[in-house]
Structure formats: C-alpha cells, structure tokens
C-alpha cells in the first residue's frame, strides 16, 4: 500500500480489498453468502434461471431486476458456458461508471488518476436441480494506455449492487498516474 492507502500495482495484478474492509463486512457476507436461492425447475436456459433467482434475504427482487436497475452499470453482457468440472456457469459483466463512483471517493494524490474503464463481473453456477449460487466476483480496471489491474472481491459486491450503492471500492477506481 502506498501512503494514500492504494495498492501498489506490479504487473497486471493488484491486491484485493484490505483485510480490515473484509472483516467489517463479515456479517453482510454471512447474510449474502447464499446470494440467490434455488429456482424452480422451469426448464429455462441457465441465464434465465440466474436472472429469476431471488436475492437472499428475499427482498422480493430478482438478480436480473437488481442488475438491470443498478445505476452504475452500462453495456451488460450475459454469457453461459460449461467449465472444466462440467458445471454450467453464467457470467454477468458490465462496465462500471468510473466518474460517478470516483465522485464519491476522498481526494487522492497526484500519483494516481481515475481508471479509464472499469468492469465488474459476477459468475454464477447453475446446478442440475436449478439451484443458483454466486461463486466469483471481480473488478478489472484499465488505464488509457491499456494497463490493467484485477481485484478479486467478495460477496459484499453483490450486496452493494442489491442495495444500489457503489460496488467498487475507491482504491479500485484509481491507477498509478505513470501508467
């Protein structure tokens, strides 16, 4: 970490969220660990099953509704694939509004600048019985020159999306100014 609390990036990866931040959200993690509940076996394609799944605790809103209503996302992409373990996976990726997110961050030093583009990805597994579970979330930030940093996040990202609050930590919205 540099003196402003941002990760020191080396190569194409940066450290994830600080441990103190993760510990602060541990109660949220427990509640959101099972982000979505089992869906009825309605015979739909896997992406439809994920979209229809309910957020835990059930607020009456589906995953699809929460992602579609999230004001920080644009250009959403849904894709379905089968991984090496023969599991059906559904990936949701969208571009994050860097300017809107960075506007809520504290002032930073001249050694960093806002990322040119940031993408948020959520990966779900759809089990044979139609049950859906969130298995991975990550954030990728890119500079105007193509440098990138990837942040593996936790379930709090999904909880923030459901709440309509910024889901990308300030430190992931900024990259070293020299890149």
Residues 52-71: b if buried by 16+ CB within 10 A, e if exposed = bbbbbeeeeebbbbbbeebe
Please classify residue 115 by burial: count the beta carbons closer than 10 Å to its beta carbon, then call 0-12 exposed, 13-18 middle and 19+ buried: buried
What pLDDT tens digit does each residue of the chain (179 aa) get?
444 444 444 444 444 444 444 444 333 333 333 333 333 444 579 999 999 998 765 667 899 999 999 999 999 999 999 999 999 999 999 999 999 999 999 999 999 999 999 999 999 999 988 899 999 999 999 999 999 999 999 878 888 998 899 999 999 999 998 88
Q: Is the pTM higher than 0.85?
A: no
Contact 6, 112 (CB under 8 A): yes
């Amino acid at each position: 970490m540099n003196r402003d609390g941002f990760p020191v990036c080396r190569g194409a990866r940066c450290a994830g969220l600080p441990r103190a931040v993760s510990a602060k959200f541990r109660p949220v993690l427990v509640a959101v660990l099972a982000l979505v509940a089992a869906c009825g076996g309605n015979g739909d394609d896997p992406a439809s099953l994920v979209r229809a799944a309910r957020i835990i605790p059930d607020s009456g809103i589906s995953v699809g509704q929460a992602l579609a209503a999230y004001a920080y996302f644009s250009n959403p992409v849904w894709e379905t694939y089968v991984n090496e373990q023969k599991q059906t996976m559904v990936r949701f990726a969208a571009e994050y509004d860097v300017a809107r997110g960075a506007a809520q961050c504290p002032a930073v030093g001249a050694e960093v600048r806002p990322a040119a583009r940031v993408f948020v990805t959520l990966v779900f597994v759809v089990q044979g019985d139609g049950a859906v579970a969130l298995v991975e979330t990550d954030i990728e930030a890119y500079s105007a020159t193509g440098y990138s940093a990837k942040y593996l996040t936790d379930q709090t990202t999904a909880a923030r999306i459901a709440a309509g609050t910024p889901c990308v930590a300030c430190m992931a919205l900024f990259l070293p100014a020299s890149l």
